[in-house]
Chain A
Amino acid sequence: MTATRPNTPIANEGHFQSHYIPSTVDEQSEMLSALGIDNIDQLFADIPVEFRNPHLDLPAPLSELEIQQELGRMASKNRAMGSGPSFLGAGSYNHFIPSIIKSLITRGEFITAYTPYQAEASQGTLQVIYEFQTLICNLYGMEVANAGMYDGATSLAEAALMACRVTKREKVALADSISPAYIDVIRTYCQSQDIAVEIVDPSNPALGEETACLVLQYPNYFGYIEDLEALVDATHVQGALAVVSCDPTAMGMLQTPGHYGADIVTGDGQPLGIPVSYGGPYVGLFATKQEYIRQMPSRLSGRTIDKNGKTGYVLTLQTREQHIRRERATSNICTNEALYALASTIYMAAMGKQGMKQVAELCYHKSHYAAAQIASLPGYSLPIDKPFFQEFVVQCPSSPTDINKKLIDLNILGGLDVSEKIPDGMLLCVTEMNSKDDIDALVAALSELK
């Protein structure tokens, strides 16, 4: 269907007028003649001729109409969370997203701006980052937050590395109740740095004098609320840092990691107004104590004044960063996922003091209602007797994967099979997006499945 398009050249030769590239043949000729040459290929003479202009096996160009059709066909093969009751969480959460977020973040002035190195031309982005840092500090009860990291997993891995720098120790202890993906990413980050990674039982974490940090998740991967107070104290007794990955939604309700004395708090900002989007892009949250600020990775926006005394914002303490410090930087990170730091800032402001609490309470009550209903079904039980927030593990009468297959035939997306950790365990997540009817439909379906 594209072969007959008149301006589609044969075999990559000739001129192609794309709607993204303004220059016409005439304009190209004008520019070429200013250079005293007659074709574009001459500009590439530095490329060894035997490798120049290779065959490029890509499909022919498509019109916008055709691309919409092709991508529409692909999208239709994916089950969207909104197309039926969905109870899958495990690090990526289905929450309500106010319309203003997409409307504001897709403004060209935000989405097509670069990193705000040129402060006078980037006050919008810089002030947003300052707002983000403020709200993340308040959310987690911490003293200082950075401008953002890639995602929750990398944020936590960087926190573990930072704890090693702060303590000058080379062993990190990970609670076995943190996300397996987080454990994998921490291992990848530590593999080349001579840092030993140890998995410990949070009910009795054996920490030693060489341990740099204890890494916890709050609520943990299975949704349960760890005894942070005791764990942070036990960590500090060994001179190690307490590193906590914390679901920001839970902060609408639960006591903060900062309250318990956590040293570094990270999280995935996805629940704060960012679509699940098959796993990304998200934004990593990262907060710590004032005393560790110079060991922090990533950007910081600081408030200052201009030469006329007017308040303004700049990137600051940049001597920690790769573009100044190169191989001695605190991290190689450059990107701070600013657009999603913006999304989460708008989300926290729109939800506000009351809305954050309401969302957390909706998740709490609905998940506890679901858990109680499922536990009352023959063959189903709750194997973990601890307070939880919005996720919990159900022990199923048969393989959770088999049960999920039957659920999806009823257009219900079940929970995650965690039977490797908990026999016949299914990790279910219930948020404000799940109505009572959704939950009752799940319970009714499970009651038929053995």
Chain B
Amino acid sequence: MQQGGNRQTEKLMLERSVPGRVGVVLPDLDVPAQPLPNNALLRDDLALPELSEPELVQYFTGLSLKNFSIDTHFYPLGSCTMKYNPKINDEVAFSPGFASIHPMQPAEHSQGALELLHKLQGFLGEITGLPAVSLATLAGAHGELGGMLMIRAHHLANGDTTRTKVAIPDSAHGTNPASAAMAGFDVVELASDEQGNVDLNALRAVSGPDLAGVMITLPSTLGLFDTHIVEVCNIVHEAGGLVYGDGANMNALLGRVKLGDLGFDVAHLNLHKTFSTPHGGGGPGAGPVCCTNQLAPYLAAPIVSQNGDSYEFSTPAKSIGKLSGFHGNFGVLVRAYTYIRTLGDAGIKSISGNAVLSANYMMNALRGVYHLPFDRTCMHEAVFSADFQKERGSSGLEIAKRLLDYGFHAPTMYFPLIVHEALMIEPTESETKETIDAFIQALIDIDQEVTDDKDLVNNAPHTTPVARLDEAKAARQPDLRWQPEAAD
């Protein structure tokens, strides 16, 4: 990989610390000093580093160069939608008119922010076909929790106290069952059929008076559009349940179909996937919840309402309550708004078209080289199995690690759980055909390496800042913070 610079990053900040150095100079106190509280209330020591500004910039820049990122590497991580993150989005979010406004300042002095939020609610409602929207949830899983609490509140409001079960396909992200459990439901796993769709017989078997709802990811984590989706929604509705949509894979569907038209009742979107806001190495993201007008009264507070020419926060009539300290991850919402305005109606549809085209092009080029457990037109991502290579002695993990040596981030591995040796690859719409071709060639070359020199593959990566790490040691003897006595 690219290894720019030679600033040393091995020593941690407290090891580098030199007494007396400062990283910031602050103004002098300009008011008369006031009496301090009782000494017992004051701390003695605060073990923070003492480093100058150049050292800090060099250290953190050095660390950054040990990362793969979208800006430096193709990052085809399935289900994560690692598309280009436009720079103007960051610039706008950090501008003082958005970054320096206080969440509790009066609405009449925040009209621009409220207008933006109100319009974003409208855009997301239009894109999903689920017109009522709350932007207050801070991440995808957070949106799931909000949506599942809404389903619970809806049933309880109907006096329906026996609906304790939520059915979730076996291909789902781990957050789905975890969120359903946090919302107080018992989770029932739904099998997938041989086409990768929800098994309708399995669904019928669980669709009774105790079913609160289902959580469906569309397209599924197999990268497939469930051809039975309308029937899935009908079966659940006939049993009195509701359909939750995990919008993690919405990049495939933008402008092509609306979840609300298909029968979904409530869904979340991942603005950090579909709407280009940066992943930041693990957040912040945002997970707005969109729902039917029927469920609108239960949305998490606050939502933004328009009142004549002005905008204000309000709390839906039967809201599940607040799920975050203020009004949501505003800086992320500003970025998503900027993205949607930039792309507009035509551009939004062009995202899904190009993303799905790239994925199918890649899948087609690798068919036969890597096993395709569900060989049908894919959506925004394709799920392969490394079974062919495993037979020759290299697992999916080893192939993924070897890709790092070629300068490509690894695909998602061993997920979804129902595919043996899964390699889940999502190219996104923002990569060039040249890059996708180079990636295809790398996977073909690695397949050849498995035959010719499998040790090369099985000991990969060879070019990264560290080789394969001892995860067992990390878990057995957890070392989670630097302490002076632990130092040499």
The contact of B364 among A34, A56, A144, by CB within 8 Å, is: A34
Q: Kindly state whether residue B371 has any CB partner on chain A within 8 Å.
A: no
A305 B470 Cβ-Cβ under 8 A? yes
Determine the chain B residues whose CB is within 8 A of the CB of A325 once the complex forms. Answer: 174, 178
Q: Kindly state whether residue A300 has any CB partner on chain B within 8 Å.
A: yes
Determine the chain B residues whose CB is within 8 A of the CB of A150 once the complex forms. Answer: 138-139, 142, 283-284, 324
The answer for the CA separation of A81 and B109 in the assembled complex, in Å, is 11
Q: Kindly state whether residue A100 has any CB partner on chain B within 8 Å.
A: yes
Q: Would A34 and B23 be within 8 Å (CB), given that A118-B410, A225-B37 are in contact?
A: no
The answer for the CA separation of A76 and B96 in the assembled complex, in Å, is 9
B329 A120 Cβ-Cβ under 8 A? no
14 CB contacts below 8 A, A to B, read A2-B344, A16-B346, A20-B83, A21-B429, A27-B433, A47-B256, A48-B230, A59-B345, A112-B279, A114-B77, A185-B324, A279-B326, A322-B141, A436-B31
Q: Would A61 and B347 be within 8 Å (CB), given that A254-B43, A350-B24 are in contact?
A: yes
The contact of B361 among A34, A192, A252, A300, by CB within 8 Å, is: A34
User: Per-residue CB proximity of B337-360 to A under 8 Å, as 1/0?
Assistant: 010111111111111011011101
Determine the chain A residues whose CB is within 8 A of the CB of B235 once the complex forms. Answer: none
The contact of B281 among A94, A282, A339, A432, by CB within 8 Å, is: A339
Spot the interface stretch: A122-130, A162-170, A377-385: A122-130
Determine the chain A residues whose CB is within 8 A of the CB of B22 once the complex forms. Answer: 352, 354-355
Which bracket fits the contact residues of A? 35 or more
B80 A364 Cβ-Cβ under 8 A? no
The contact of A306 among B36, B183, B468, by CB within 8 Å, is: B468
A289-306 with Cβ < 8 A to chain B? 293, 299-306
Most buried by B among A116, A124, A278, A340: A278
> What DSSP secondary structure best describes chain B's contact surface?
loop
Q: Kindly state whether residue A450 has any CB partner on chain B within 8 Å.
A: no
Q: Kindly state whether residue B14 has any CB partner on chain A within 8 Å.
A: yes
CB distance from A315 to the nearest CB of B (A): 8
A74 B94 Cβ-Cβ under 8 A? no
CB-nearest residue of chain B relative to A24?
Answer: B433
CB distance from A254 to the nearest CB of B (A): 6
Determine the chain B residues whose CB is within 8 A of the CB of A196 once the complex forms. Answer: none
Determine the chain A residues whose CB is within 8 A of the CB of B262 once the complex forms. Answer: 48, 51
The contact of B149 among A88, A191, A337, A413, by CB within 8 Å, is: A191
B66 A353 Cβ-Cβ under 8 A? no
A82 B48 Cβ-Cβ under 8 A? no
The answer for the CA separation of A86 and B96 in the assembled complex, in Å, is 14
Q: Would A302 and B475 be within 8 Å (CB), given that A145-B481, A332-B145, A332-B182 are in contact?
A: yes
B455-479 with Cβ < 8 A to chain A? 461, 464-471, 473-475, 478-479
Q: Kindly state whether residue A1 has any CB partner on chain B within 8 Å.
A: no
A69-101 with Cβ < 8 A to chain B? 70-83, 86, 88, 90-92, 94, 96, 98, 100
The answer for the CA separation of A322 and B300 in the assembled complex, in Å, is 23
A350-365 with Cβ < 8 A to chain B? 350-359, 361-362, 364-365
CB distance from B383 to the nearest CB of A (A): 15
Determine the chain A residues whose CB is within 8 A of the CB of B36 once the complex forms. Answer: 364
CB distance from B163 to the nearest CB of A (A): 12
CB-nearest residue of chain A relative to B86?
Answer: A20
A340 B284 Cβ-Cβ under 8 A? yes
Q: Kindly state whether residue B177 has any CB partner on chain A within 8 Å.
A: yes
B65 A109 Cβ-Cβ under 8 A? yes
B329 A281 Cβ-Cβ under 8 A? yes
Determine the chain B residues whose CB is within 8 A of the CB of A72 once the complex forms. Answer: 97
The answer for the CA separation of A299 and B41 in the assembled complex, in Å, is 32
User: Per-residue CB proximity of B316-338 to A under 8 Å, as 1/0?
Assistant: 00001111111111111010001
Determine the chain A residues whose CB is within 8 A of the CB of B438 once the complex forms. Answer: none
A326 B46 Cβ-Cβ under 8 A? no
Known: A23-B429, A225-B41, A307-B469. 13 other contacts (CB 8 A): A23-B354, A35-B361, A58-B123, A94-B102, A104-B57, A123-B63, A268-B325, A281-B138, A281-B283, A307-B470, A333-B142, A334-B175, A349-B51
A30-61 with Cβ < 8 A to chain B? 30-32, 34-35, 40, 43-48, 51-54, 56-61
Q: Kindly state whether residue B451 has any CB partner on chain A within 8 Å.
A: no
B467 A310 Cβ-Cβ under 8 A? yes
A329 B68 Cβ-Cβ under 8 A? no
Spot the interface stretch: B110-118, B203-211, B386-394: B110-118
The 10 closest A-B pairs by CB, nearest first: A75-B97, A279-B326, A108-B71, A339-B280, A192-B184, A61-B344, A279-B103, A281-B284, A77-B112, A338-B282
A51 B257 Cβ-Cβ under 8 A? yes
Q: Would A77 and B174 be within 8 Å (CB), given that A111-B280, A353-B50 are in contact?
A: no
Determine the chain B residues whose CB is within 8 A of the CB of A131 once the complex forms. Answer: 12-13, 482
A351 B142 Cβ-Cβ under 8 A? no
The answer for the CA separation of A121 and B9 in the assembled complex, in Å, is 15
Most buried by B among A335, A359, A413: A335
B256 A120 Cβ-Cβ under 8 A? no
CB distance from A269 to the nearest CB of B (A): 11
Q: Kindly state whether residue B409 has any CB partner on chain A within 8 Å.
A: yes
Determine the chain B residues whose CB is within 8 A of the CB of A96 once the complex forms. Answer: 26
B149 A192 Cβ-Cβ under 8 A? yes
Q: Kindly state whether residue B157 has any CB partner on chain A within 8 Å.
A: no
A346 B56 Cβ-Cβ under 8 A? yes
Determine the chain A residues whose CB is within 8 A of the CB of B29 once the complex forms. Answer: 361-362, 365-366
Determine the chain B residues whose CB is within 8 A of the CB of A408 once the complex forms. Answer: 106, 109
Determine the chain A residues whose CB is within 8 A of the CB of B224 once the complex forms. Answer: 46
Q: Kindly state whether residue B305 has any CB partner on chain A within 8 Å.
A: no
B325 A282 Cβ-Cβ under 8 A? yes
